[in-house]
Structure 1
Amino acid sequence: MPLHVLPGPEIGCVWKAGVSGVYSCLVLFRLTNVATPLWRFPYEEQLKVKSESQKKVLQTLASRLRELGTDKLEITQKPDGLCCPLRSIVPSQGILSVCEPTTGNMPEKHKQVAQCYEEFLQQSPLDPCLLFHQGGHWRELTVRTNSSGHIMAIITFHPQDLSQDELCNQKALLKEFFTCGPGAVCNLTSLYFQESIMTRSSHQQSPYQLLYGEPYIFEEVLGLKFRISPDAFFQINTAGAEVLYQTVRKLSRADKNTVLLDICCGTGAIGLSLAHQASKVVGVEVVEQAVEDARWNAAFNGISNCEFHSGKAETVLPQFLMSREDDRLLVAIVNPSRAGLHYHVVRAIRNCEAIRTLIYVSCKPEGEAMRNFLEFCCPPDSGKKLVGEPFSPLLAVPVDMFPHTMHCELVMLFTR
């Protein structure tokens, strides 16, 4: 479960020694209400709120498809104006109690690392970097933990015009603080440092430098062990991830005559958890470190029917689909970021007749994912090169991965 903290005045006010209790409490309330706006509601009420939100997504999709002139009446004439049946939301299996605003929605260990980082910033002669053009150096802290309590901390740093000797000195001070100084109480498993002149950089753009400890943390999901690099995506709610993957497994209905496409596969969690019931799994992921993890995960868990490809999905997937020679049916599972799928990925899936089943996992279905839904389901459009038979939404299953927030994962099953 990762925590991201940017150094700034509000974070400083919360943890800075000597700040008045009243002001600190007000800031904590503000932070809690922004990060976990549903914390005051009993969990059953939270689920009702989220269910209504997902219902609006399906109503919007049905309305937009009507506007596009779809001729599939079963899509646009469902009860309640939904485009397909909506199952009851699957509750989270790991809920942090938020009885007070000071608790937040994160483990105590995460807050301890953030507090120590704040203490380090206060004693550092270098300023935080809030806006690049205003100078400063210390930027984001990311904390990742697993169910065993291992902790990976990643600190990003803007080098500005520091020399290599000065950079080495800052890295040494940071390492000393977290291994021998006050930060040693965090008992970090891994401490990474990344020099970056951009808001967010990949390992390829700005390598993660291991200052201390182990290069990876590990997590177990559905009886499988996963290696996780600092740059690799992994679901933040491990217990919830198990339920999510089980949901995807049931909807896929994959068998030994099926090839699963795991698009935006990260460390391979979805594909590997379904590999035993499929003929083959082909994963695609842009983050090279995650692909290396996925290959290690397959080998470690003794799974031999998976292959993982590094590169942009909009490049790798069309090439794979054009070069395949067997006639086995394909099931596509996509789990993109909030930015959604690139148009070329949508076009490749839509125009591949062997793909009869599509499962779309979205953490923000009302955003760019809605654009993808419409592209998959709209009538054929030669101008946009969407010439394949349109998909139809068959079922929607919300899975709550983020208690106390407005967000949940929506698993959409499309068929044709």
Structure 2
Amino acid sequence: MLGNFREGVTAVEEPENCPNVSEISCKYAKMFQDFLQSSSFPLWSKIDNSGFWRQLTVREGRCPAEAVVSQNAESQISEVMLIVQVCSTSVDEALMKEEFDKLSAALVQGAATCSPPLPLTTIVVQDHKGISNAAPTDCPLIPLLVPKGDKLDGTSEDKTRIHDHISNLKFSISPTAFFQVNTLAAERLYALAGDWANLNSDTLLFDVCCGTGTIGLTLAQRVGMVVGIEMNESAVSDAHRNALINGIKNCRFVCGKAEDVMGPLLTEYLGSPQQQAAASKSNSEIDDTSKTEDMIGCASYDGENIDSSKQRHDNAEGQQPMDTSVDHPTCASEVDGMDVVDCNHDENNVASGEQNCGEASLINGKPIETSSDNSLEQGKTCKDGSSSPNNNVLAANACQFKNVVAIVDPPRVGLHPTVIKALRTHPRIRRLVYVYISCNPDSLVANGIELCTPTPEKQEKNKGNRGWRSMSSAGLARQRTKSMPNSEPFIPKRAMAVDLFPHTPHCEMVMLFER
């Protein structure tokens, strides 16, 4: 399909000799096209939202790197998922089922008669009745062809999924979950992000917009803990499954919009900005009092001793921020409706809850109750701000990691302003290394403006939405910086383009921000 819907120009080409689509995908597209010629059901029209057949998506899963012998790219594909999108409005259910049976038989037979036979793992129908081609994740899915399910931890695995490999890790992919189409280039992309982020065992990594957990899981062995955030519930389920498949036990995945959960998660692990500001002020007052008392006590000493005393206090003053979170444990009093989860690397906790690690996550800001009594230990939310055992959990989480890193892989529109504000204004994130993976340079520019613009001396309140419709994304970002709370801006350090989409104008941009 060529052209641009927004400009009203669309052309459908024959699925042959297309350089940026695999031969297997082209062959399945040709089979589907031939079937439509004989189908009694009409093609869907965007103009009046009528018709039945909408589109075909081919998802491919590759063998692990060590299993690949031939250099032929097609021979590396071991699993294929076919997703057929339809619109069932005013269609008889019995006739629709009969047509699906014919389609399934045609695709299975077509795959078997090819030389060599094409891999075919599962066929899924997505019933989408809206106008946009991008269907919501909760659209009904109808499995037409399912393989014999693998066994995972004694239970039958979901049949409507395929598997792919990145960096020798195995990833389970459900029909609606996001996964990079160019997995070989994705390996280079994720390795680059990890190298720039300067990861180590003392790193707490926030994987924002994590999808099926590919970035966080590929970097998990290089960090102390990964906290992934994703709004697609099936993708979060895949992420949990992928961690279990690969034996990775230091990851937690949270289901919810990043703009809803980023702030509460920062508070859970690092303490709230208000608490940190109060702790910093308290430490400053203690230091000033200690200085005054020592200077009075040193009045009878000679000048050399006074200088030595000043030097000792200067050294102590420089070391004080390292112990802030120990002396002032944090509390989740400002995180409404949220349970605290101890995700320290205690092997007993991990072993007893490896499948449920991170399942005390958030959906629409509410905790999910874990079904196993052996899940990770949960604490009660501190409602009144008073001291409780949970403070020890939070303090341990905050103090365990000296380095806090966020890797974000947002949709084309970029990061939500609330997420940018939460990351920029948290005072505990002193050594944040911000690696931005974006397939839309315009949104990267807009987000960069909000991250890097110094806080204005006089903040301006938003004056409504007058004129915002005519503003560019960069213009809107400049407008939002005028009301940005006082915070230290980031500085862009490095940038590199990674071509994940050959023969197209699109590429991924990796940019490193530090402060």
TM more than 0.5: yes
Residue 284 of structure 1: how far off its partner (Å): 0.5
CA-CA distance at 1:350 after TM superposition: 1.1
Asked whether the equivalents of residues 236 and 255 of structure 2 are also in contact (C-alpha less than 8 Å), the reply is yes
Residue 203 of structure 1 corresponds to which residue in structure 2? 137
SS of equivalent residue, structure 1 residue 133: coil
Aligned residue type for 1:302: G
Equivalent residues in 2 for 1:341-380, closer than 5 Å: 341-355=415-429, 356-365=432-441, 367-380=442-455
Residues 1:227 and 2:302 are matched in the alignment: no
Q: How far apart, in 1, do the equivalents of 2:10 and 2:188 lie?
A: 38
Which of these residues, 184, 187, 211, is aligned with residue 239 of structure 1? 184
**Take 2:225 and 2:254, find their aligned partners in 1: how far apart are those partners?**
14
1:260-290 Cα distance to aligned partner (Å, 9 max, x none): 0000101111111111121110000111111
Q: Is the 8 A contact 1:314 1:345 kept in 2?
A: yes
1:161 matched to 2:90? The reply is yes
Q: Which residue of 1 is the match for residue 40 of structure 2?
A: 125
Structure 1 residue 10: deviation in Å? 4.4
Moved more, 188-197 or 322-331: 322-331
Q: Which whole-Å deviations, capped at 9, do the CAs of 1:185-239 have from their partners, x for residues lacking one? A: 45421111011112222332x1322210342111111121111111111111111
In the TM superposition, residue 132 of structure 1 has moved relative to its aligned partner by 5.6
The partner residue of 2:99 within 170, 186, 200 is 170
* Partner Cα distance (1:249, 1:181) in 2: 43
Count of residues paired in the alignment? 323
Change (3 A) 1:254 1:104: same
Distance verdict in 2 for CA 1:272–1:220, change over 3 Å: same
Deviation at 1:386, TM superposition (A): 4.1
> Whose RCO is larger (CA < 8 A, sep 6+)?
1
- The alignment yields a C-alpha RMSD, in angstroms, of 2.3
Identity %: 36
Counterparts of 1:308-327 in structure 2, within 5 Å, are: 308-324=253-269, 325=394, 326-327=398-399
Is the deviation greater in 347-356 or in 136-145? 347-356
Q: Separation in 2 of the partners of 1:314 and 1:194?
A: 28
1:147 is aligned to 62
**Do the aligned partners of 1:313 and 1:345 also contact (CA within 8 Å) in 2?**
yes
SS in 2 for 1:151: strand
CA drift of 1:317 comes to 1.1
SS in structure 2 of the partner of residue 276 of structure 1: helix
The equivalent position to 2:493 in structure 1, one of 360, 371, 394, is 394
Range that drifts further, 319-328 or 113-122: 319-328
Deviation at 1:176, TM superposition (A): 2.3
Contact 1:350 1:386 in 2 (8 A): no
1:35-46 to structure 2, matched below 5 A, reads none
Distance in 1 between the 2:414 and 2:10 partners? 33
Q: CA deviation at 1:257?
A: 1.7
The letter of the residue matching 2:54 is R
Q: Is the contact made by 1:264 and 1:336 (CA closer than 8 Å) also made in structure 2?
A: yes
Q: Does 1:137 align with 2:137?
A: no
Change (3 A) 1:183 1:370: farther
1:268 to 2:344 alignment: no
Change (3 A) 1:182 1:121: farther
TM-score by length of 2: 0.59
- Which range moves more in the overlay, 329-338 or 382-391? 382-391
Q: Which amino acid aligns with 1:127?
A: P
**Change over 3 Å in CA distance of 1:181–1:224 after alignment to 2:** closer
Distance 2:202 2:10 in 1: 57
The residue number in structure 2 matching 1:69 is: none
Work out whether residues 338 and 369 of structure 1, in 8 Å CA contact, stay in contact via their aligned partners in 2.
Answer: no
Unpaired runs of 5+ in structure 1? Answer: 16-27, 29-101
CA shift at 1:254, angstroms?
1.5
**Closer, same or farther: CA 386–211 of 1 in aligned 2, 3 Å:** farther
C-alpha distance in structure 1 between counterparts of 2:486 and 2:224, whole Å: 28
- Per the alignment, do residues 295 and 158 of structure 1 end up closer, same or farther by CA in structure 2, a change over 3 Å counting? same
Query: Paired residue for 2:123?
Result: 191
For 1:388 and 1:208, the matched residues in 2 are separated by 46
The answer on 1:408 being equivalent to 2:507 is yes
Counterpart amino acid of 2:80? I
Measure, in 2, the Cα distance between the counterparts of 1:410 and 1:386.
28
Question: Cα distance 1:177–1:342, how it changes in 2: closer, same or farther (>3 A)?
Answer: same
- Is 1:107 equivalent to 2:206 in the alignment? no
Q: Which residue of 1 aligns with 2:108?
A: 179
Summarize deviations over 1:74-108 as a string: whole Å, max 9, x none. xxxxxxxxxxxxxxxxxxxxxxxxxxxx3421111
Q: 1:175–1:212: 8 Å Cα contact kept in structure 2?
A: yes
**Secondary structure at 1:14's aligned position in 2?**
coil
Distance change (3 Å), C-alpha of 1:378 and 1:140: same
